[in-house]
A and B are shown apart, each in its own frame.
Chain A
Amino acid sequence: MTDKREAHKDAFAEIVQEHFSSLKRFAMSLCRNEFEADDLVSETFLKAFQNFSRINDESKIKQWLFRILYNVFISNYRRKRKVVTTDFAPVNTKSDDVQSFSLFETLAKSDYIADGNPERSYVSKLTNEQIAKAMEQLPAEFKAVILLNDVEEFSYAEIAVMLKVPIGTVRSRVARGRSILQKKLWLQAKELGIRIEKSPKEKKEYTCTCSKEENDQQIVLITS
Chain B
Amino acid sequence: MTKQIKEINCEEAAKRFNDFIDNYLRGRSKEELVHHVEGCRHCFERIEFEKLLKKKISSFSGQKIPNKKSTVKNILSKIYANE
The A contact surface, by secondary structure, is: helix
In the bound complex, what is the Cα–Cα distance between A108 and B9 (angstroms)?
A: 18
Asked if A192 is at the interface (CB within 8 A of a chain B CB), the reply is no
A55 CB within 8 Å of chain B: no
Given A210-B9, A210-B10, A131-B40 contact (CB < 8 Å): no
Q: Are A20 and B65 in contact (CB under 8 A)?
A: yes
Residue with the highest number of chain A CB atoms closer than 10 Å, among B54, B65, B74:
B65
Partner of A120, one of B9, B52, B74: B52
B29 within 8 A of A: no
Q: Which residues of A contact B (CB under 8 A)?
A: 9, 12-13, 16-17, 20-21, 24-25, 28, 38, 41-42, 45-46, 49, 102-105, 108, 117, 119-120, 123-124, 126, 128, 131-132, 135-136, 146-147, 149-151, 153, 156, 171, 174-175, 178, 181-182, 206-212
Mark B residues whose CB is within 8 Å of A. Answer: 9-11, 14, 18-19, 22, 24, 39-43, 45-46, 48-50, 52-54, 56-58, 60-63, 65, 68, 71-72, 74-76, 78-80, 82
